[in-house]
Structure 1
Amino acid sequence: MPQQNPAKYVAGAGDIETTYAYDGLGTMEDPFVVEFHEGDSENPMNWSSFRKWAITAIVTLSVFAVTFTSSAYSESSIELMQDLNMESEVFILGLSLFVLGFAIGPAIWGPL
């Protein structure tokens, strides 16, 4: 297919017609424009206050749980090393990997 504006391109006999669901071409000069329809239930602006607060509470509690887990692991260092018969280097490695994942994880998962 020739490199033309698909909106102006007329399909030939053997061509597959290209249609887009959104305005724009999806390029840097003419990006897709995605808009919600009036009253769309998927639009976050149309969600109920209860749903918005519930999502906020779930995310907040998840962050709290992860933060609490990291501090609980480090607080129990003496008991863990005694019960599992491990050296301090092994315990520090586990703690370091947890903190490293806590620091680098958002940079990796955020864009995804």
Structure 2
Amino acid sequence: MAKLNDIQIGSEKIEQIKMANKYPIDKVGANKYLSIQFIAALIDNGGLVDWSTFSAHERYMKLCEHYDVTPLNQISFSLFVVNNFNIEVKDKKAFGKKFRVFRRFKMVQDGSGRTYKL
């Protein structure tokens, strides 16, 4: 299993810090904590947005395998990403084949306090 200070996969750690605060290790356990941190690190370093859900999950699986961490299955992985980050899954078609892609979106608040997706 990876050591907790070994999970920095790049210089930016914005999402990693957010997830560490939202899912502390003492509440979710070391394995799930590391799994969540790997997902956040991939997002911080551009390794997930604009990738197909299958390819992004494969990258995540390789990372978990390398550090001997039990990964989330593909459905749980996609749901976790969509529910915890400003990322959605969009259908895309290329070369006559349909696949699903992670896309980032912005949340904008208007003067009345309502929030909208851009």
TM over 0.5: no
Under a length normalisation based on structure 2, what TM-score does the superposition of the two structures give?
A: 0.24
Under a length normalisation based on structure 1, what TM-score does the superposition of the two structures give?
A: 0.25
Larger strand share, 1 or 2: 2
